[in-house]
Structure 1
């Protein structure tokens, strides 16, 4: 039972400390590194903010499409990857210009996606970059050779919205999409290793606030341990995943915390036809009393 102090804290509303004003269309992505915050927008720009002053540090313009994703690399404090349309641009933020043009000042441009890229991530050793796109593809770029690794079998049969490397695991990642699947990837093996259905009937959760949207996977966030993941869904709920070595000590009420994931009939058929297993990530608790709309970011 919650204490009186806990109830008071829950009733307190978080107040913004500042507003960063500059974009003229919705913001699609955010990423931070030290004192910098990168934002990508539908206005076809990326802005680098100085969080010490709450002012724009640099603006990156010249893109032909909205900036859907931005990510800093763990390798240094000045390289950023920006995904717009089917291309990924790399910029060196040590350039003196306050405004960088994507057409003339990208240090490298990577192309090859079949459709618009939704998210890019760099692994913790900064040796690889993973990207997912509207075609449902998940692809890996070798940052040492600057070449795409061989194309993997398409596992999502709809838009792949989000992808996250597993911390401390060089070439393992989870992707999620509009097919209601979370897919675990092992790029050493060159294939998907697990399919997790987000509306599996085995999970008994309370009805979410969002009554109409299916649980499409919009976002995934990783715990630094690499053993827990949070998945933001289209029905406004948050699904937690964990490994067998990190079982929750206090499962959420109404969840089946140690239940091994069983794929849906569609997922089972896919797994059987390609030899993919269903061991690895387990379903944890699910927060249903969260948002009344899809969770776009975690």
Structure 2
């Protein structure tokens, strides 16, 4: 198998987050900027400068859907329209909100968005207006990852070692405590760091080096399998 490797040069610090939509990719960096890349030409076509995110010095999350670009710095969420003809987007934020704690992850499907916060909360918002639809406490520690898995349900995980499937109204349909599944958990607890989902499957990355494959045949019945 042949592999083609190329480098997209533009950031001058750690790249924290990537998101693609079609042939466009967004990247957020510790240099305090967001860049929009054309994956056909491998060139940076737009840039959101660090002046816009001041006083924060880092962009932790980006999420791209069509022409909508969501970014977060600490506890602030921003929405941009990448169709703006200006090469450098500085003051073109459509809307901003400030939340009670730092944003860990942004996910979205259609016109519904989801934020996971460091205080364990999950925020449901309208992706067109950023209007908050609901906020509920899902975890008793950092909620590190939350993914929308249908029009009405979210799968989330956190540093409380719990994986939950929750309705948008806050009703819990599944709650797995990974702390009970492992030995040596005092020295290497199975914190949930990241979740990737597609259809009725999800992969969960744990702090003890394991990956859990999570299947939900119905929203109330789940099967888990652990991989090294």
Work out whether the TM-score is over 0.5: yes
Partner of 1:121: 107
Does residue 281 (structure 1) correspond to residue 227 (structure 2)? The answer is: no
- Give the Cα separation in 1 of the matches to 2:132 and 2:64: 19
Relative contact order, CA 8 A, sep 6+: which one is greater? 1
Offset from partner CA, 1:107-155 (integer Å, 9 cap, x none): 12133x21111111112xx221110111111010134664212322x13
Offset from partner CA, 1:58-114 (integer Å, 9 cap, x none): 1112213321111122xxx2111111121211111111111111xx21112133x21
Match of 1:161 among 127, 144, 153: 144
Give ranges in structure 1 of 5+ residues lacking alignment: 1-8, 246-277, 289-298
1:41/1:287 CA distance change after superposition, 3 Å:
same
Q: Work out which of the two has the higher radius of gyration on C-alpha atoms and give 1 or 2.
A: 1
Checking the alignment, whether the CA contact within 8 Å between 2:125 and 2:134 is kept in structure 1 is no
Match of 2:92 among 105, 110, 135: 105
CA drift at 1:181: 1.3
Secondary structure of residue in 2 paired with 1:157: coil
- Give the Cα separation in 2 of the matches to 1:55 and 1:120: 25
Does residue 40 (structure 1) correspond to residue 20 (structure 2)? The answer is: no
CA drift at 1:192: 2.7
Partner of 2:163: 182
Does residue 22 (structure 1) correspond to residue 14 (structure 2)? The answer is: no
Secondary structure of residue in 2 paired with 1:90: strand
1:71/1:218 CA distance change after superposition, 3 Å:
same
Match of 1:237 among 202, 210, 214: 210
Offset from partner CA, 1:153-185 (integer Å, 9 cap, x none): x1311111111110xx20211111111111211
**With structure 2 as the length reference, what TM-score do the two structures score?**
0.88
Greater fraction of residues in helix:
1
Does residue 63 (structure 1) correspond to residue 49 (structure 2)? The answer is: no
**With structure 1 as the length reference, what TM-score do the two structures score?**
0.69
What is the Cα-based RMSD across aligned positions, in Å?
Answer: 2.4
Match of 2:176 among 175, 189, 196: 196
Give ranges in structure 2 of 5+ residues lacking alignment: none
- Give the Cα separation in 1 of the matches to 2:222 and 2:206: 17
CA drift at 1:15: 5.2
Secondary structure of residue in 2 paired with 1:149: strand
CA drift at 1:239: 0.6
Greater fraction of residues in strand:
2
Secondary structure of residue in 1 paired with 2:180: coil
